Amino acid sequence: MRNLRVSADRIAADLAALAGITDPDRPWTRRAFSPRFDQGRAWLRSRFAEAGLSVATDAGGNLLGTRAGSAGVGTILIGSHSDTVPDGGRFDGVAGVVIALEVARMLEERGLTLRHDLCVADFLAEEVSVFGVSCIGSRAMAGVRPETWLALEHEGRSLAQALRDVGGAPEASARRDDIRAFFELHIEQGPVLEQSRTDLGLVTAIAGITRVEVVLTGRADHAGTAPMGARADALAAAARLVTAIEAEATARSRTGHFTATVGEFSIEPNAANVVPSRARLLIDARAVERAQMEGFLTWLDAACAALPPGIGATVTRLSDNMPTPMDPGLIALLQTAADTCGATTRPMASGAGHDAAFIARIAPAAMIFVPCREGRSHCPEEWAETADIALGAEVMAEAILAFDART
């Protein structure tokens, strides 16, 4: 069924239009709570309305376009996010919003009325925002956005005020209890689909993310007079630990999706002629199987305890989010839809976080991945072919029709 009902031309035009709404000196940048983001939201609002959707911004700051169903049996939610990271958001999130809109347009022009309401969502601030937190809108819709976040400030503006500025209502609840299914399309952000020449990835689970701070303390000494064998060099110990973390993560990755990255690193006093007395590491670890994460954290404690004499270690778990399985029933519908459309698929874990991880707390959720060039994402070179995105949209539409007919 490669003669698609969705319009690849409309998808391409929408992607190009949103790409044009960017900080001109930093393509492709449209960060949440910025004037450029507001401009993109205004464009989306007009496109939602043109598609015949009833448009509103909910209390959590999510832009929603709703097409009423015929039976009052709940809502099928589809969408993603239109905000970007700096310098790299031409398709990340945006493709999912655009194809959700296209599915709604396709249903409208073919005169197909679902039994369920269909809601197209642009979730607020999926990427890490200027307030240092992410998935603000989907957390609000799931009823799990921490109240303490509202007091966070950036350049004199609180998150509560920023929510009001985008049309939200921080004092009100955005939690939904009418969602019966959620579908999200996203670029893969990795090379597997392209390298394997597979049309689509069907996401089985979204990895849990744990961030751990390790602070190693040694002793500052003169770099020229302290004997090599009598030092408590915090940096040397940290270097051994970083290498060990990479080896341990590589070993764990052979039996399931697992990654660990030392993404932040600093030393003190950071002087050429002083033996480092302190080193700080921030570890980002991700696993689809919780047992893998627990095993890694136990290993990390033991590795820190086994550092050379004179080196102290403090291990602090800063955040710890559980992995989120996608709904098997919705995955099966997507597989059947892909078979109907003649699309090849493979099951995949998502190492990146997505709004679906939070919506899954209130409703069955599923994700489709489409290939991206060389697996690149969060960079200006991020690219996905319109034909791949349109095929993903067609498969999603087929699955939505099947879900609507049976429930």
Does 222 carry a binding-site annotation? Answer: no
Establish whether 154 is an annotated binding residue.
no
Is there a binding annotation on residue 278?
no
Rounded Cα gap, residues 90 and 378, in angstroms: 9
Residue 92 assigned to a binding site: yes
Dist. CA 199–CA 384, nearest whole Å: 12
- 127 labeled part of a ligand binding site: yes
d(CA 333, CA 341): 12
Q: Is 257 assigned a ligand-binding role in the annotation?
A: no
**Burial annotation 122-151 (CB, 10 A radius, 16+ → b, else e):** bbbbbbebbbeebbbbbbbbbeebeeebbe
Sign of the alpha-carbon dihedral angle for 340, 346, 352, 358: positive
Is residue 81 annotated as involved in ligand binding?
Answer: yes
List the one residue out of 138, 283, 140 whose CA is nearest residue 206.
Answer: 138
43/40 Cα distance (integer angstroms) = 5
Task: Identify whether the C-beta of residue 241 lies closer than 8 Å to the C-beta of residue 304.
Answer: yes
Q: Tell how far CA 35 is from the center of its chain.
A: 22
| 355-373: burial string, b at 16+ Cβ within 10 Å, e else | bbbbbbebbbbbbbbbbbe
Count Cβ atoms within 10 A of the Cβ of residue 295 and give its class: 0-12 exposed, 13-18 middle, 19 or more buried: middle
| Residues in binding site | 81, 92, 127, 186, 211, 273, 286, 378
| Residues in binding site for allantoate | 211, 273, 286
| Residues in binding site for Zn(2+) | 81, 92, 127, 186, 378
